[in-house]
């Protein structure tokens, strides 16, 4: 099941959001302020030792070991204008060379407005997460946090607005009851990831289409967090009958004492053209259906353990013959992860073991990975 956030008159709302953001920025520009802002530099480094093994469809076995180091530094600044508005700026530097993530935020009584460059994620796909080290699809070989140096596999959770340059609006924290916060974001005209990216193409292959994303979070009772998000891409412009990419997720996470339990579901509909079946046995992915749960236990202030299981079903249709008949073929990929983490001040020693079946949606391809990590925060 997927909760689809039914946002009425999306185009009008996003148009209004753009106008409001312009008004806020104009107000900021006209405000004269002799402020004394705050500036901070924070960061972290992670060293990992990784052991991997994989059994393939032909009965072959591959294994490997590796050592890696990753780091990230964050520059943050904040202050207040004479008219009472607040401002903040953040810049991330990954692995000491790439300045890829940045955002400027303006806080008002009516909410917060942001301009983000490859930053400010809104997806709630990992709202279930209680892992001590990290969920299997988002760490090591399994995801983007490839501090081990390995490439990621392809468990599909869909897109997130922070992959592109975007503008956002967040409601004030105390505006709505039950701790409800609503967030909306859009890419201006197209989905690009480069600073000042304004190139527009009418070719469907290169024109990514504009993206919109919405998120809703709430905390109705102590210990319970509920989250939901939805995203959609605009028409790529090349083929009228194209199915554009869209998807969403919802999750519930409850903490009582030392135990935290979370569950979530995600649906990711892949972009495609109708009538893609041109030859016998040609196949097209329709969507991915995901569900996951995570259990975490804080043994004490320093030691924590967790168990996480993620399942993703790749739903595709396959042309059985040259006639217009298709059959459905599904492949289920599953990742189970056990984590242990021990923290001493600014240092954390982590141990993660994950097992993946049907890795990258390839039947009978199974992968195991063990990561020993030392993380420093400064």
Contacts of residue 374, defined as CB under 8 A and 6 or more positions apart, other chains included, come to: 46, 47, 48, 347, 348, 349, 350
Asked whether residue 31 is domain-assigned, the answer is: no
1 vs 85, more confident: 85
Which residue shows structure tokens 């892949």? 270
Q: Give the ranges where 246-327 is alpha helix by DSSP (H).
A: none
Q: What pLDDT is stored for residue 108 in this prediction?
A: 94
Expressed as residue numbers, the domain containing 238 is 10-25+42-377
| pLDDT higher than 60, residue 17 | no
C-alpha distances (whole Å) from 67 to each of 147, 230, 375 are 9, 37, 14
How many whole angstroms separate alpha carbon 46 and alpha carbon 373? 7
CATH code for the domain in which residue 280 is found: 2.40.160.10
How many whole angstroms separate alpha carbon 250 and alpha carbon 267? 9
Average pLDDT (69-76) is 87
Residue 5: pLDDT band (50, 70, 90) is: very low
Asked whether residue 33 is domain-assigned, the answer is: no
Query: What is the token pair recorded at 275?
Result: 């009538």
- 181-223 residue pLDDT tens: 999 999 876 545 555 555 444 443 444 568 899 999 999 999 9
Pairing status of strand 242-243 against strand 246-256? unpaired
Asked whether residue 171 is domain-assigned, the answer is: yes
Asked whether residue 220 is domain-assigned, the answer is: yes
pTM of the predicted model, to two decimals?
Answer: 0.78
Q: What pLDDT is stored for residue 255 in this prediction?
A: 98
Asked whether residue 1 is domain-assigned, the answer is: no
Asked whether residue 336 is domain-assigned, the answer is: yes
| pLDDT higher than 90, residue 286 | no
Contacts of residue 269, defined as CB under 8 A and 6 or more positions apart, other chains included, come to: 243, 245, 246, 247, 286, 287
- 30-66 residue pLDDT tens: 443 445 689 999 999 999 998 888 887 655 666 788 8
- 127-184 residue pLDDT tens: 999 999 988 787 765 443 333 333 345 788 888 888 888 999 999 988 999 999 999 9
Q: What pLDDT is stored for residue 259 in this prediction?
A: 98
Asked whether residue 30 is domain-assigned, the answer is: no
> How many domains is the chain built from?
1
Total number of residues shown for the chain:
378
Query: What is the token pair recorded at 95?
Result: 């692995």
How many whole angstroms separate alpha carbon 205 and alpha carbon 158? 19
How many whole angstroms separate alpha carbon 199 and alpha carbon 70? 32
Asked whether residue 269 is domain-assigned, the answer is: yes
Q: What pLDDT is stored for residue 125 in this prediction?
A: 92
90, 143, 138: which is closest to 117 by C-alpha?
90
Q: What pLDDT is stored for residue 97 in this prediction?
A: 54
Q: What pLDDT is stored for residue 98 in this prediction?
A: 54
Q: Which helix (H) or strand (E) covers residue 230, if one does?
A: strand 224-233
Torsions phi, psi for 134 (to 5 deg): 160, 145
Mean predicted lDDT score pLDDT of the chain: 79
Three-state DSSP at 241 gives coil
């Amino acid at each position: 099941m997927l909760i689809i956030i039914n946002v009425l008159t999306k185009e009008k709302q996003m148009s209004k959001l753009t106008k409001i953001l312009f008004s806020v920025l104009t107000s900021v520009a006209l405000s004269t302020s002799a402020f004394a802002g705050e500036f901070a530099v924070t960061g972290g480094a992670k060293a990992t030792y990784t052991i991997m093994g994989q059994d393939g469809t032909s009965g072959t076995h591959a294994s490997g070991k590796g050592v890696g180091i990753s780091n990230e530094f964050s520059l943050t600044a904040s202050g207040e204008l004479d008219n009472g508005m607040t401002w903040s700026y953040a810049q991330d530097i990954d692995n000491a060379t790439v300045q890829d993530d940045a955002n400027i935020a303006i806080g008002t009584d009516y909410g917060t407005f942001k301009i983000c460059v490859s930053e400010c994620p809104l997806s709630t796909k990992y709202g279930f997460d209680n892992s001590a080290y990290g969920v299997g699809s988002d760490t090591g070989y399994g995801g983007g946090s490839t501090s081990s140096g390995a490439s990621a596999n392809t468990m599909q959770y869909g897109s997130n607005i922070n992959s592109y340059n975007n503008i956002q609006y967040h409601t004030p924290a105390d505006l709505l009851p039950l701790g409800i916060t609503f967030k909306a974001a859009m890419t201006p005209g197209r989905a690009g990831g480069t600073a000042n990216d304004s190139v527009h193409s009418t070719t469907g292959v290169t024109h990514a289409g504009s993206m919109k994303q919405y998120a809703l979070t709430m905390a109705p009772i102590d210990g319970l967090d509920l989250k939901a998000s939805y995203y959609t891409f605009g028409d790529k412009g090349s083929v009228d009958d194209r199915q554009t990419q869209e998807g969403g997720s919802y999750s519930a996470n409850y903490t009582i004492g030392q135990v935290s339990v979370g569950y979530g579901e995600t649906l990711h509909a892949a972009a495609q053209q109708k009538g893609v079946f041109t030859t016998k046995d040609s196949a097209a992915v329709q969507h991915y259906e995901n569900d996951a749960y995570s259990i975490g236990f804080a043994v004490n202030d320093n030691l924590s353990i967790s168990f996480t299981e993620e399942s993703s079903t790749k739903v595709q249709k396959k042309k059985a013959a040259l006639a217009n008949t298709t059959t459905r073929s599904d492949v289920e990929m599953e990742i189970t992860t056990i984590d242990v983490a021990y923290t001493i001040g600014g240092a954390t020693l982590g141990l993660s073991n994950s097992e993946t079946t049907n890795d990258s949606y390839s039947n009978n391809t199974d992968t195991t990975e063990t990561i020993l990590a030392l993380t420093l925060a400064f």
